[in-house]
Amino acid sequence: MMNAKSILTNIYTSNEIAECLLKIDSDIRDDLKQHVFLLLFEKDENFIIELHQQDKLRNYIVKVMFNLVHFTQDKFHRVNRRQTEILTNDFDEDITDDREVDLLPKLEMEMQNIYWYNKHMLELYVELGTYKSVSEKTGIAIRSVANAVEKAKKQLKHNVICGL
């Protein structure tokens, strides 16, 4: 029976993680990988083992990476992205390898395909940091804000991952 440490070590050294990281800005790849796995090693061992047994651990890791790259209200973003973040709406026409494409322009482009209400709730959530803050600012019930944000995140994740 594998323990959480050995499971995470196998995933850490896997080609899947390396390929996933190639889709992220090269300036933060190593920091992101270290940060994600530090978070995972701090999780309860049973949580990691259960996700692994359900074959959901790799998806969970990708989700954590996606959230750390996209959402700006966390320590990782404040420490690692502040100096390197340059948002653009245009793709570099000279890119020949799709794996080298930065996710941020793709995310921005895919944000345009999200239903306007859900998109607005997600933008407010990213800006304000909590469902409660969005609810207070808009007068919309917290549960409704949370549902809209979750729908937007799910659609954005689906669109970005399917488009890679």
- Give pLDDT tens digits for 95-125: 444 444 466 677 777 888 888 998 899 989 9
Classify 94 as helix, strand or coil.
coil
Tokens of 76: 């990782």
Instruction: Decide if 62 contacts 33 (C-beta within 8 A).
Output: no
The residue ranking higher by pLDDT, 118 or 25, is 118
Would you say residue 81 has pLDDT above 70? no
Say what the pLDDT of residue 94 is.
Answer: 44
Residue pLDDT, tens place only, 32-74: 888 888 888 888 899 899 999 998 988 888 888 887 777 655 5
Question: Exposed (0-12), middle (13-18) or buried (19+): which is 97, by Cβ within 10 Å?
Answer: exposed
How many Cα atoms occupy the beta-carbon half-sphere of 153 within 13 Å?
Answer: 18
**Residues in contact with 16: Cβ distance below 8 Å, sequence separation at least 6, in sequence order:** 58
The structure tokens 């800006």 sit at 127
pTM over 0.85: no
| pLDDT bucket at 88, cuts 50 / 70 / 90 | very low
Q: Report the 3 state secondary structure along 5-71.
A: HHHHHHHHCCHHHHHHHCCCCCCCHHHHHHHHHHHHHHCCHHHHHHHHHCCCHHHHHHHHHHHHHHC
pLDDT tens for residues 130-140? 889 899 999 98
Q: What is the pLDDT of residue 66?
A: 80
CB-CB contact of 152 with 118 (8 Å): yes
End-to-end CA distance of the chain: 35
